Structure 1
Amino acid sequence: MSTGTPLKGSVLIVEDDEDIRAAMAELLEGEGFEVAVASNGLEGLEVLEQIHPPCLVLLDLMMPVMSGEDFLRHLRQHPAFNPVPVIIVTASGRQPLPGAQGILKKPFEIGDLFATVAAHCTT
C-alpha cells in the first residue's frame, strides 16, 4: 500500500507487459486498493491460491505460458473463484469472452480504469 487510506478491496492484475502491470498496480494502490499481480495466466492461478478472492480480476488476453482465455476457463471451473468478476484488458477488437463481465480497451484513460474497478469493488 502506498497510502494510509483504508482498503477498498483487492484486485488481481494478470498482464504480461511489466510497464502496464506496474502502472495499473500503482494507480489502484494509490486509490486504496490492495493489488496482486501476475505476468501470465498460470502465475495468476497460483497467486489466487495464495490470497483471499479479489473483488475483480483485470485480465490481459495475449500472454506467454497461459493465455487470458485459458486462465478464464480455469477460473470459472474453480468453485471459490467462479463468482469473481473478470474484465478483459486488451488492445484487440475482441468482444468479451464468455465468463467475463466486460472489456477495458488499451490504451485506456485512467478514469476508465478507476470507473471499471469501482463498479465491481465497493467498500
Structure 2
Amino acid sequence: MASPIVQYIVLRKDLVDKLKWPIGALIAQACHACTAVMHNFREETTTQQYLADIERMHKVVLEANNEESLMALAEKLKAENVDHKLWIEQPEDIPTCIATRPYQKDLIQSHFKKFKLMK
C-alpha cells in the first residue's frame, strides 16, 4: 500500500511565545504558505491527487523554536530538492512558516523528525 500523501507545515513558535503575536496571526502565516505552495506546485501529480480528495487531506503541523531553526530547515529542504514555500511576512521581512507541497509521507518525513507537533 502506498504511503499517504501529506503536507508538512512548520511554524515559528517563538512568534507567539516570545514576540507575543496573536495566534490568529500565526495561523494566517500557515494559510499564506499553504496557499502559495499549492499554487506554485499545482501541476505536480501528487498535488493534484491531494486536491482531488479534499475530504481526506492530511497535514502535519509542527513547531520550529525560532527563526534559526526554521531557516536551517529551509536550507535543508532546498538542498534535498524538497518543494516548499518559506513564507516571509512583509513588509517586516520576517520568516514565519514553511509549507511543503503534498508528498508521499515516506519520501519526506525524515526531514521533520526533530520538530514537535505544534501546541
- TM-score, length-scaled by structure 2: 0.35
Which of the pair is proportionally richer in helix? 2
- TM-score, length-scaled by structure 1: 0.34
Which of the pair is proportionally richer in strand? 2
> If you compute each CA radius of gyration, which structure gives the higher value, 1 or 2?
2
